[in-house]
């Protein structure tokens, strides 16, 4: 077949971004059109619900315990009350940071494993043969989650230092922090279909950079969905399905020769 048939389709960056942003809803529509996929989606939904509830409960318990302790530690006057409130705010900020870090690790390990199984079922429906896939072990998800945590912590520390630069530091730190967080989250979800194809981390990063607007769009959607109570476990699960559909679309624009080169690089 003529190679010109596989020429990449021109898509604007804005279109690509919103295409990635809409991936969770595309995944939701696909799973509703193929209800048997929900058998593989219910476990990550329940896992995410339990994880979020446990961390939220621990966060509240730890804050109230700390506030009660500070209330008895400081003198019973306006100065002591002010110190107790300030200390409680600092403890709350630290607890939130720790809770987010714990959520990233455990969500990446346990939910990520189930997302990989769901992605496998989606690929089978899309025509990929079982012998063309590789199993994604739980150990891979653990390593991946720890790498992501290290990356996000390093970015957070760097943005914290940058934030002290007068005038421009704070907005730059906020913008860069959001940019890297969205990129990491987007790359993580595009990892599921690529891991099934035995594509290494280096190839995955190259793919994410090549399709940066789509990756950022998907990551932005995942980041926002993480803050929606009750619905987030469902939509984060459908995002895994949407990531497979998005990957197929992006890979198709590059043509089969590009996919072969990626496999050879691993």
Q: What is the pLDDT of residues 173-211, one digit of tens each?
A: 778 878 888 898 899 899 999 988 888 778 888 999 999
Cβ atoms of residues 54 and 233 within 8 Å: no
Q: 28: alpha, beta or left, given left = phi > 0 and alpha = psi -120 to 50?
A: alpha
DSSP-derived secondary structure letter, 228 = S
Residue 205 resides in a domain: yes
Residue 236 resides in a domain: yes
Cβ atoms of residues 6 and 256 within 8 Å: yes
Residue 253 resides in a domain: yes
This prediction's pTM:
0.74
pLDDT of residue 32: 95
Output phi, psi for 218, to 5 deg.
-65, -45
Residue 264 resides in a domain: no
Token pair listed for 2: 């003529």
Cβ atoms of residues 111 and 236 within 8 Å: yes
User: Can you give the residue range of the structural domain that contains 142?
Assistant: 13-259
74-106 confidence digits (pLDDT tens): 556 666 566 656 665 655 555 555 566 666 667
Cβ atoms of residues 25 and 225 within 8 Å: no
The owner of tokens 């109230």 is 64
Question: Which pLDDT band, with edges at 50, 70 and 90, does 223 fall under?
Answer: confident
The count of domains in the chain is: 1
Helices (H), the chain: 13-21, 23-33, 38-73, 78-106, 112-125, 138-162, 169-195, 201-210, 212-225, 231-254, 256-265
Residue 265 resides in a domain: no
16-41 confidence digits (pLDDT tens): 999 999 999 999 999 999 999 999 98
133-176 confidence digits (pLDDT tens): 877 666 766 777 777 777 777 777 777 677 677 777 767 877 88
d(CA 125, CA 31): 11
pLDDT of residue 64: 65
Q: Residues near 145 by Cβ (< 8 Å), separated by ≥ 6?
A: 104, 105, 106, 107, 108, 109, 112
């Amino acid at each position: 077949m003529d190679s010109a048939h596989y020429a990449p389709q021109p898509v604007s960056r804005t279109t690509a971004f919103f295409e990635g942003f809409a991936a969770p809803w595309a995944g939701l529509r696909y799973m509703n059109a193929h209800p048997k996929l929900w058998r593989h989606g219910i476990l990550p939904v329940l896992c995410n619900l339990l994880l979020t509830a446990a961390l939220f409960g621990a966060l509240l318990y730890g804050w109230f315990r700390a506030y009660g302790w500070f209330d008895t530690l400081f003198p019973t006057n306006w100065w002591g009350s002010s110190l107790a409130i300030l200390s409680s705010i600092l403890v709350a900020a630290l607890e939130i940071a720790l809770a987010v870090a714990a959520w990233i690790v455990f969500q990446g390990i346990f939910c990520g494993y189930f997302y990989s199984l769901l992605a496998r079922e989606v690929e089978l429906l899309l025509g990929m043969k079982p012998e063309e896939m590789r199993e994604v072990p739980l150990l891979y998800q653990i390593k991946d989650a720890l790498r992501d945590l290290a990356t996000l912590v390093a970015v957070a520390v760097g943005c914290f230092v940058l934030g002290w630069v007068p005038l421009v530091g704070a907005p730059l730190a906020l913008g860069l922090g959001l940019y890297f967080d969205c990129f990491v989250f987007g790359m993580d979800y595009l990892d599921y279909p690529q891991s099934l194809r035995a594509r290494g981390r280096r190839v995955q990063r190259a793919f994410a950079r090549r399709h940066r607007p789509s990756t950022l769009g998907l990551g932005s959607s995942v980041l926002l969905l993480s803050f929606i109570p009750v619905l987030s476990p469902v939509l984060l699960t459908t995002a895994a399905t949407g990531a497979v559909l998005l990957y197929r679309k992006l890979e198709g624009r590059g043509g089969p020769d590009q996919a072969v080169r990626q496999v050879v690089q691993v």
